[in-house]
Amino acid sequence: MITPTAPFPAPRATGAADGLTVAIDIGGTKIAGALVHPDGTMTATTRRATPRGADAEGVMAAVTEVVADLSDSPLWASAVRCGIGSAGPVDTSRGTVSPVNIGAWREFPVQARVAAELAARGAELPTVLAGDGVAMTAAEHWLGAARGHTNALCMVVSTGVGGGLILNNQLHPGPTGNAGHIGHISVAFDGEPCVCGSRGCVESIASGTAIARWARDQGWTPAAGASSGNGASIGNGAGGTRDASAAGVAAAAATGDPIAVAAFDRAGRALAAAIAATATLVETDIAVIGGGVAASGDILFAPIRTHLAAYATLSFVKELQVVPATLGTHAGLIGAAAAATMLLPSPPSP
């Protein structure tokens, strides 16, 4: 069913081509779709829960339902392109995805399958696939915190750490769509093993999962209170809950808990080192950080900025800004549309 939505507040479109974009956002908890206008407003938004325990075709069935919902819109015939943003890893050279949070999809040909669903509903559209970090980057450059910046690094700090790059006002996804994946830059050569197989990666230190794990390993005990609702809470045996997630660590840091403060300082230092390294390599002048951990505000941003001064020391990176993302939950769909607009040729004029 198509659910109406208020238009997305777009102050102005920067470089958006004419025509509507079919936007699809695929994640571990939901699959969403919308028709996105050239000014960033979204209409005909719809979503489905990402099926749990389903096989590959079961997950694809939810994507098909989203496309079917969008095709019921009277604006469907005005669509000129399609953007798909997906949790990764992705391989945009092959149009495949293997999301860590969708176990049924391994090298799943999502781009070809979505294109086929579009064609079956009378819309043979050029289609592009982008990883969620790249899509978020496209969104923040178009309508968010990186708007107006020629070179930018945008990051998602959540269960994992991902990102993307804007270079010379162009989205730079790389050959397989993974350029800017800052979470797997090593910032501690003798650090802990990372799930990717390397050692001392940013993600192994600064992700929400890593922050909470390190704090607990140092003896931090979550205080009784409200659960973060993310499944990371543990019962306290007295009718309340104890939030053992990164959100719980952030709440403790806000009260001055020394271990919680140290956990976020450690994460901020890792992020600062990686941001400075990226800026030094490609001369970005802003780093935009979104995701669930970034919602902790200055608990995270203050240590990043403090440590950044020690890493970004050369004259051409000393003015590097670190700011929070502004698009929030809109970033997935807006980013899928923005990536398609930036990476696909503009449609011919009528």
Do 84 and 110 contact (CB within 8 A), yes or no? yes
pLDDT per residue as tens digits for the range 326-342: 998 889 999 999 999 99
Q: Is the pLDDT of residue 229 over 90?
A: no
Close Cβ partners of 309 (under 8 Å, ≥ 6 residues apart): none
For 319, other C-beta atoms within 10 Å of its C-beta total 10
Close Cβ partners of 258 (under 8 Å, ≥ 6 residues apart): none
Q: pLDDT class for 346, splitting at 50, 70, 90?
A: confident
CA 51 to chain centre: 20
pTM of the model as a whole: 0.87
How much is the average pLDDT of 180-196?
Answer: 91
For 93, other C-beta atoms within 10 Å of its C-beta total 11
Strands 79-86 and 127-131: parallel
pLDDT per residue as tens digits for the range 243-282: 889 999 999 999 999 999 999 999 999 999 999 999 999 9
Do 135 and 114 contact (CB within 8 A), yes or no? no
Closest CA to 303 of 273, 324, 257, 272: 272
pLDDT of res. 223: 81
- Strand-pairing partners, residue 290, are 156
Most distant CA pair in the chain, distance: 68
pLDDT of res. 216: 96
Q: Is the pLDDT of residue 124 over 80?
A: yes
